[in-house]
Chains A and B, each alone.
Chain A
């Protein structure tokens, strides 16, 4: 719990932040009261003038945050009139500068805090010039201590004006800094939100592909196999009976069609999601190595299974790289290694002792792999000098 007075202060600040116009109005009122209280003459006309000057200055303070430049200019004009007519011999009663002129300091601060630096520096220059004029007209140029008084006046006014500008300027700087900080924070939140959504999408699509393969396996493939079996049996039965050869031929065609469709369906399903992946990346890669046209030495070191989507990407990349090597490299041996310590990204390396010169060309096989790897922020590097050997390294996060 914060202490009592501190809490009251905090609440007061909070109220002021929530009601800027009312706060400025009160500040104006305060200045006005002080200024009017300071008015020396009881004479009605000069009192009226004094009240009008004070009212104008208080008004500029009240609207300082809505129209900083106009308020500053208004106050500067009023103060100029005061300097011109309210000082020295033959001065107009009620026009003398007073405590309300502190308004110009507040407005300089406001200018520095809410407007561009160019504008506020111009305001500062105007103020300093005004101050020089005021001191020149007000301070005693002769007599004892005249020099000291002059110096002190210059120092006091100059330092006050400079301090107001510096405070305002630093407030403006802090404000832009906080705004950019908030924007960066929002951008970072958005990025991590997008990453989470993408990971979900990647996982969902991997799960959906697996489901499609299973549905095919349990549904269409089984029905088609049963159909082919029935057609086969009918064909054999009819062949034994004395059947019209055209009918037999027709049936034979249907039977063959069913068998061909089964083969196509199997290849399709395997392309969607190889069932061997369900038993882990190691087994799936072992199968790829087993059926590769070029002998493959496989090293698998996986501490903990990565997510299914990552396993699928690693599998399809390896399949593509093995096929590429068989097609283009003329290699005699291939090494495939997968390492996944569980903490670092999964590292897949495929090395062949072929001709080398592989590169990521637009619309080439490697470009397709790169795209696939990049969907999960993975990396693909190609090291393939002319004459070989070629090493292609793929790094994948353990989860999408």
Chain B
């Protein structure tokens, strides 16, 4: 993969660059702020960009805004936003503006290198990746109860894994059930959420967004 990294902490930027390079990826640019990120994206048009949420100058949500801008200008570039904190509404905002090729992960996830690179690959290929922490927060939140009340606990589990961008096979492995059973659950979920049968991937994304925004 050709990767651009935007992260203001040098130690993390260098660490990521080295790790990804050792795993055979091409880090074409590693920058420290949103402005430099914009230039790097325009220049290199990478497969995916890793973008820290808090960057200079204001250290608030530069990364989120940059991610939305990248999606508008370069829809083919996947963006993995990563952050020290998980904010559910930031996630739903991000996914609403760019339902494909987007990810939102806690910075901690870099600790599990292979999983992190898998997630990055999914985003680069146009998939969605959502941190389990977002899912945990949202499942604890009350207002989802009404909208998702129709789903069984198992279906909710499956939906949360869909929202994390997992494939049916991966979901089956995670829940120790057969892919056939997963397919049945997914069909039930689509049905209960009122999603007409069309392009499956698209329905998955819509379900994930519904899940986030409900």
Residues of A within 8 A of B (CB): 214, 217-218, 221-223, 225-226, 228-233, 236, 255, 258-259, 262-263, 266, 269-270, 275-276, 278-279, 283, 286-287, 290-296
Contact between A266 and B84, CB atoms less than 8 A apart: yes
Write the residues of chain B forming the contact surface with A, with a CB cutoff of 8 angstroms: 8-9, 11-12, 15-16, 19, 22, 54, 58-61, 84-85, 87-89, 107-108, 110-114, 137-138, 140-143, 145-146
Structural contact, B11 and A223, CB atoms closer than 8 A: yes
**CB-CB < 8 A to B59: which residues of A?**
214, 278
User: What residues on B are CB-neighbors of A218 within 8 Å?
Assistant: 8-9
Establish whether residues A225 and B12, one from each chain, have CB atoms under 8 Å apart when the complex forms.
yes
* B111, B113, B143, B146 — most chain A CB neighbours (10 Å): B111
Smallest Cβ distance from A293 to chain B, in angstroms?
Answer: 5
Can you show 27 pairs from A to B with CB atoms below 8 A apart? A222-B12, A225-B110, A225-B111, A226-B12, A228-B108, A228-B110, A229-B15, A229-B19, A232-B110, A233-B19, A233-B22, A255-B111, A259-B108, A259-B111, A266-B85, A266-B108, A270-B85, A275-B54, A275-B85, A276-B85, A279-B61, A283-B89, A287-B87, A290-B141, A292-B142, A294-B142, A295-B142
**Residue on B nearest A226 in the bound complex, by CB:** B15
Check B84–A217 contact: CB distance below 8 A.
Answer: yes
Complex Cα distance, B145 from A119, in Å, reads: 84
Given A225-B12, A294-B142, 6 further pairs, Cβ under 8 A: A218-B8, A226-B12, A233-B113, A259-B108, A283-B89, A293-B140
Q: Which 6 A-B pairs have the closest CB atoms?
A: A228-B111, A222-B9, A295-B142, A295-B143, A226-B15, A229-B110
Q: Give which listed residue, B8, B9, B111, B143, contacts A229 with CB less than 8 A.
A: B111
Which of B11, B22, B89, B111 sits near A287, CB closer than 8 Å?
Answer: B89
Q: How far is the CB of A254 from chain B (nearest CB, A)?
A: 11
Is the Cβ of A287 less than 8 Å from the Cβ of B15?
A: no
Once the chains are docked, how many angstroms separate the CA of A269 from the CA of B137?
A: 18
Decide: B141 and A293 in contact? CB cutoff 8 A: yes
Partner of B87, one of A223, A276, A295, A296: A276
Chain B: which residue is nearest A333 at the CB level?
B142
Q: Chain A residues near B85 (CB, 8 Å)?
A: 266, 270, 275-276
User: Looking across the interface, which residue of chain B has its beta carbon closest to that of A275?
Assistant: B85
For the complex, give the distance between the alpha carbons of A236 and B23 in Å: 11
A-B contact count (CB 8 A): 92
B interface SS class: helix
Q: Output the least CB separation between A304 and chain B (Å).
A: 18
Cβ A291 vs Cβ B141 within 8 A:
yes
* A interface SS class: helix
A221 vs B9: C-alpha distance when bound (angstroms): 10
The answer to whether residues A230 and B142 also contact, given A217-B54, A263-B108, A290-B89 and a CB cut-off of 8 A, is no
A293 to B12 CA separation, bound complex (whole angstroms): 35
Known: A229-B111, A232-B112, A278-B60. A221 touches B84 (CB 8 A): yes
Nearest-CB distance from B101 to chain A (Å)?
A: 24
Please indicate the chain A residues that have their CB under 8 angstroms from the CB of B61 in the complex: 279
Q: Which residues of A contact B110 (CB under 8 A)?
A: 225, 228-229, 232
Residue of B nearest to A235 (CB): B113
In the complex, residue of chain A having the shortest beta-carbon distance to the beta carbon of B7: A222
For residue A334, which residue of chain B has the nearest CB?
B142
Min CB distance, A173 to chain B, in Å? 63
Q: How far is the CA of A155 from the CA of B89 in the complex (A)?
A: 94
Bound Cα distance from A31 to B98, whole angstroms: 104
A286 to B90, CA, bound (A): 11
Cβ–Cβ < 8 Å partners of A221 in chain B: 84, 107
Are A295 and B146 closer than 8 Å at their CB atoms?
yes
Which listed residue (B19, B137, B146) contacts A291, Cβ 8 A? B137
Chain A residue numbers with a CB within 8 Å of B87 are: 276, 287
CB contacts (< 8 Å) of B16 on chain A: these are 229
Which chain A residues border B113 with CB–CB below 8 Å? 229, 232-233, 236
Do the beta carbons of B11 and A222 come within 8 Å of each other?
yes
Tell me the minimal C-beta distance from B109 to chain A in angstroms.
Answer: 9
**Min CB–CB distance A179 → chain B (angstroms):** 55
Query: In the complex, what distance in Å separates the CA atom of A221 from the CA atom of B106?
Result: 12
Residues of chain B within 8 A (CB-CB) of A269 are 84
Q: Known: A287-B87, A295-B146. Is A262-B111 also a contact (CB below 8 A)?
A: yes
Query: Which residues of B sit under 8 angstroms from A266, Cβ to Cβ?
Result: 84-85, 108
- Closest A residue to B83 using CB positions: A275
Residue in B closest to A231 when the chains form the complex, CB atoms: B111
With a cutoff of 8 Å between Cβ atoms, the chain A residues found around residue B111 in the complex are: 225, 228-229, 231-232, 255, 258-259, 262
The docked-state distance in angstroms from the alpha carbon of A217 to that of B108 is: 12
Task: Please name the residue on chain B nearest to A225 by beta carbon.
Answer: B107
B contact residues around A279 at 8 Å (CB): 60-61
Minimal Cβ-Cβ distance residue in A for B106? A266
Q: Which residue of the partner chain, among A233, A270, A287, A296, contacts B142 with CB atoms under 8 Å?
A: A296
Given contacts A279-B61, A287-B89, contact A292 B114 (CB under 8 A): no
- Separation of A232 and B85 alpha carbons in the complex (Å): 21
Q: Could you say which residues of chain A place their CB within 8 Å of the CB of B142?
A: 292-296
A236 / chain B contacts, CB cutoff of 8 Å: 113-114
Q: Which residues of B contact A286 (CB under 8 A)?
A: 89
A279 to B9 CA separation, bound complex (whole angstroms): 21
For B108, the chain A residues whose CB sits under 8 A away are: 225, 228, 259, 262-263, 266
Residue of A nearest to B137 (CB): A291
Tell whether A292 pairs with B141 under 8 Å between CB atoms, given A226-B12, A229-B19, A230-B15: yes
